[in-house]
Homo-oligomer: A and B are copies of this chain.
Amino acid sequence: MPRKAGRPKTGQALLTQERILSAALVLVDEHGVAALTMRRLAAALGVDPMAIYRHLPDKRAVLAGLVQRVFAEFRVPTVEEDGWQAQVRAFAHAYRTLVRAHPHLVFYVATDGASSGEAALMAGEALYTALAGAGLPPQGVVRAADLLVDFLNGFALGDLSGRLGRPGERHDLLARLAELPASQYPTMHRVLGSLTVAELEASFETELEILIAGIEAMLTADC
């Protein structure tokens, strides 16, 4: 059912940036970034590949638009609970929710996220306000915020597969470790051997609390 060339008659859905990005997001979320192809994207839209170029300059722009769109969903809930810690937790959980919703885009979100419009500014304001409210000096606010964002991006990346082990990877590590004499890597043997599978699982919450404790320590230190 090839469409005719020319401007589509009324009644036909017009091709727009919005529709293109929506289709692209479906492609990426379902099959990964590698599946995002101008030709496949066009096919999903029922359109000639070149039609897309009327609305977006090139493929890079499609990917950038995707990150923009995903990041635009980012809202840090204003928390009723007292304490800057609760607000930092709210930020962290919101960010984690965002990147988990689009795991194949983690790299691009982590890499371009900040340059992605209003939502980034609003999120930054929320985080900075929480940290400034904790009593940190300006430089401390920036450092703590950077640290938190770095951790969040790193954790998201690790969730994808990897780090010093995660659901899948950790089992590889354990298997390799089991093949070697305990004397070769004694601490790893002892530490990992004494934990249950559940205890081995990465804990976002615990890592976040360690980080928050570090920020708390900044408050009493010189910094």
Contact = CB atoms under 8 A, between A and B. Distances in A.
A154 B150 contact: yes
Contacts of A153: 153-154, 157-158, 163
Copies in the complex: 2
Contacts of A132: 187, 190-191
A147 interface: yes
A124 interface: yes
For chain A, which range describes its interface: under 10, 10 to 19, 20 to 34, or 35 or more residues? 35 or more
A14 interface: no
Contact of A157 (B157, B180, B188, B210): B157
Contacts of A111: 157, 160-162
Interface in A167-223: 169, 172-173, 176-177, 180, 185-188, 190-192, 194-195, 199-200, 202-203, 206-207, 210-218, 221
Contacts of A191: 128, 132, 138, 141-142
A30 interface: no
Interface stretch (A5-13, A21-29, A50-58, A113-121): A113-121
Interface of A: 107, 110-115, 120-122, 124-125, 127-129, 132, 138-139, 141-147, 149-155, 157-158, 160-165, 169, 172-173, 176-177, 180, 185-188, 190-192, 194-195, 199-200, 202-203, 206-207, 210-218, 221
B188 A113 contact: no
A143 B155 CA distance: 12
Contacts of A144: 210
Contact of A154 (B110, B162, B172): B110
